[in-house]
Amino acid sequence: MIDVALASAIAASLAAVHSRLERAAARSGRDPSSIRLVAVSKTFGPDHVRAAFAAGQRDFGENRVQEGLTKAAEVADLPIAWHLVGHLQWNKVRKAVGPFAWIHSVDSPELLRRIDAIATERASRVPVLVQVDLAGEATKYGAPENVLDSIFEAASQCRFTAVTGLMLLPPYVEDPEAARPWFRRLRALRDEWRGRGVPEAWLAELSMGMSHDFEVAIEEGATIVRVGTAIFGSRRAVAA
Ligand SMILES: *Cc1c(COP(=O)(O)O)cnc(C)c1O
């Protein structure tokens, strides 16, 4: 049973997110159906996931492997595509490959090879994105630009893992316009690597943009936006 008040609140926020997404797509002459909305449900329980699912949402994101697996098990009756949007620790790869339909956070050739070894063992296809650290922030995860070369090199030897694009989690800025240069830079980086002969399919997706700045990300070419707060409300403070 879905709580009626929760269901209608989430349906309303989801509708608002869809209309923001559609307006941003229209402004940039893009087809809104070419943009995948990932509902980031971290810290929220299965009731929230069910409510969003009932309102038509099918892609959900989690930033922690264990929390994601627990939640996915609680709503295992629903055909949901789970996205791992947070850092993937070495010792969690075995758990993550399979249950997560997408992994957004590949940041080293070693991690990519490990994901592929396990995906190959299970004969399970895994699309992954390469998380790029454009800001050079010591505290953030992501591959520095100069590591992309070795990641694409590793990608050419993958058997079951398909690199499908780039992901960005830029430094937080209040003003969405201030995030625009980061989004633009990720797209430019994508174009640069295409120019160097990396296959189109490896660079098809740009996962960028969150609740407060996803319209700007769409204007700059995002194909996947990861939205939590604008759908589910603000998160309670949780221990890290
Ligand atoms: C939490 C999270 C989001 C969603 O953030 P909101 O501001 O709540 O929309 C997106 N991407 C990643 C990697 C996250 O951890």
In tens, the pLDDT along 130-167 reads 999 998 876 678 999 999 999 999 999 999 999 999 99
Question: 218 and 225 in contact (C-beta within 8 Å)?
Answer: yes
Structural domains of the chain, with CATH: 4-232 (3.20.20.10)
Confidence of residue 1 (pLDDT cuts 50, 70, 90): low
CA 64 remoteness from chain centre: 12
**Alpha-carbon distances, residue 192 vs 1, 173, 195 (angstroms):** 50, 26, 5
69-84 b/e (C-beta count within 10 Å ≥ 16 → b): bebbeebeeeebebbb
In tens, the pLDDT along 99-129 reads 999 999 999 999 999 999 999 999 999 999 9
Q: Nearest residue CA, atom 15 of ligand 1?
A: 63
Percent of the chain with pLDDT over 70: 97
Q: How many residues does the chain have?
A: 240
Tell the residue number behind the tokens 């070894």, with chain if given: 117
Local structure of 59: helix, strand or coil: strand
pTM of this structure: 0.96
Encoding tokens for residue 49? 């996931």
CA 8-233-140 angle, to 5 degrees, is 145
Ligand 1 atom with least separation from CA of 105: 13
The average confidence (pLDDT) of the chain is: 95
How far does the centroid of ligand 1 lie from the alpha carbon of residue 46, in Å?
Answer: 18
Ligand 1 atom with least separation from CA of 229: 8
Q: Nearest residue CA, atom 13 of ligand 1?
A: 85
